[in-house]
Structure 1
Amino acid sequence: MSEQWQQPQDQPQWGGGGQAPQQTSGKATAALVLGIVSILCVPLIAGIIGVIIGGQAKKEIDSSGGRLGGRGMAQAGVILSWIGIAWGVLVIILAVAGAFSS
């Protein structure tokens, strides 16, 4: 009795074609991390790099034809990076003003 089991032909076949799952852009993740770091630690350095990488990530995602996701992460990274840059500039202005007022 060496019968092989076969699925009846009237049953739908699963796991065939279809679209691959959407992947998140690595640059989008990096932009978000840099945006957070720019607020917490090194505002100017991480902020500038975060804005650049976030812009690249958005272009990469838009040109991928739906293959890549994470545009919201990239946008959040850019926004947080700009906030970090503004925070860094404010700290520098206050430090310079404090140095001259003494």
Structure 2
Amino acid sequence: MTYPPPGYQQPYFQPPDHPQATTIVILGVLGLVLCQLLGPVAFVMGGRALKEIDNSGGAIGGRSTVLAGYICGIIATVIVVIAILVVIAAVLIALVAGTSTTSTY
């Protein structure tokens, strides 16, 4: 039996990345930085891609790239939800403040 020379590394199979990995990370980062409405898209797409990668048995790679986009999508989605809640609260406060003032004519 012959052994490889010292320092020789065996080549290994690296599975191809998920076809949407780059798209998900771009949407996640853009959702975090520019347009938070892209965050939920990255969040949903990332969740689906992570399930496909986990169920592939090692045939599909790119899990870390998809996970980065997924996490950015979660953060952007939380920002969107908080912004919507702040706007709703401001409108309600304005309505209550507008109706509670009485005129003394």
Instruction: Give the alignment's TM-score, normalised by structure 2.
Output: 0.63
Structure 1 gap ranges (5+): 1-17
Alignment check: 8 A CA contact 2:53 2:63 kept: yes
Residue type matched to 1:39 in 2? L
Count how many residue pairs are aligned between Structure 1 and Structure 2.
85
SS state of the match for residue 24, structure 1? Answer: coil
Aligned to 2:23: 30
Q: How high is the sequence identity, in percent, across the aligned residues?
A: 31
The correspondence for 2:78, drawn from 80, 83, 86, is: 86
2:43 & 2:27 partners in 1: Cα distance? 9
The correspondence for 1:49, drawn from 25, 41, 52, is: 41
Question: What is the root-mean-square deviation in Å for CA atoms of aligned residues?
Answer: 2.3
Aligned to 1:69: 61
Structure 2 gap ranges (5+): 1-10, 95-105
Deviations 1:8-67 (A, max 9, x none): xxxxxxxxxx765421112222221111111122213x1221121111211221232322
1:86 is displaced (CA, Å) by 1.0
Alignment check: 8 A CA contact 1:32 1:76 kept: yes
Whether 2:71 is the aligned partner of 1:60: answer: no
1:94 is displaced (CA, Å) by 2.7
Aligned to 1:95: 87
Equivalence map 1:5-16=2 (5 Å): none
Alignment check: 8 A CA contact 2:14 2:61 kept: no
